[in-house]
Amino acid sequence: MAIPDTITDKTLQLALDASNQTREQAIALLNLVSNTPSPLTHATQLQISKQQKLLLTYLAQLRGLHRDAHVGARETKALTAEARQEVDRLHLQLQNLYYEQQHLQGEIAACESYEYFSLPFLI
């Protein structure tokens, strides 16, 4: 399968492995139950019970990995939001500086184009 080759993150690889183990255990339990004759013997019931406990163990592990991944995604989302706010703040500051630069350049141009007449000093 090509998917496991592309996943490099260890936590995601663990989740994928746990998912595969859970799926395989569920299939094994289904095969055991479907191939068992109708009146279950005590030994068969014990074997089915062990398989169910193993399946529940894999499911609990998978839930824990999912919870960890969910918490990690929340933390990453919060960090991204903080970084985005900082970038937005800096961008607004840059826009304000650009506006002020344009305003001051206009004022300088107005001052440079101002025509004045020198008045002779009265003595």
Examine residue 2 and state whether it is found in any structural domain, yes or no: no
Residue 2 is predicted with a pLDDT of 54
DSSP 28-63: HHHHHHHTS-SS--HHHHHHHHHHHHHHHHHHHHHH
**Is residue 102 over pLDDT 70?**
yes
Residue 121 is predicted with a pLDDT of 67
Examine residue 64 and state whether it is found in any structural domain, yes or no: yes
Average pLDDT over residues 62-88: 94
Examine residue 117 and state whether it is found in any structural domain, yes or no: no
**Is residue 119 over pLDDT 70?**
no
**Length reported for the chain:** 123
CB within 8 A of 84, min separation 6: which ones? Answer: none
Examine residue 1 and state whether it is found in any structural domain, yes or no: no
Name the pLDDT band for 114 (thresholds 50, 70, 90): confident
pLDDT digits (tens, 9 = 90+) for 37-74: 878 888 889 999 999 999 999 999 999 999 998 998 99
Examine residue 119 and state whether it is found in any structural domain, yes or no: no
In the chain, how many domains are there? 1
Residue 41 is predicted with a pLDDT of 86
Residue 92 is predicted with a pLDDT of 97
Examine residue 104 and state whether it is found in any structural domain, yes or no: yes
Q: What's the Cα-to-Cα distance from 120 to each of 94, 114, 123, rounded to whole Å?
A: 47, 19, 9
Containing domain of residue 89, as a range? 9-112
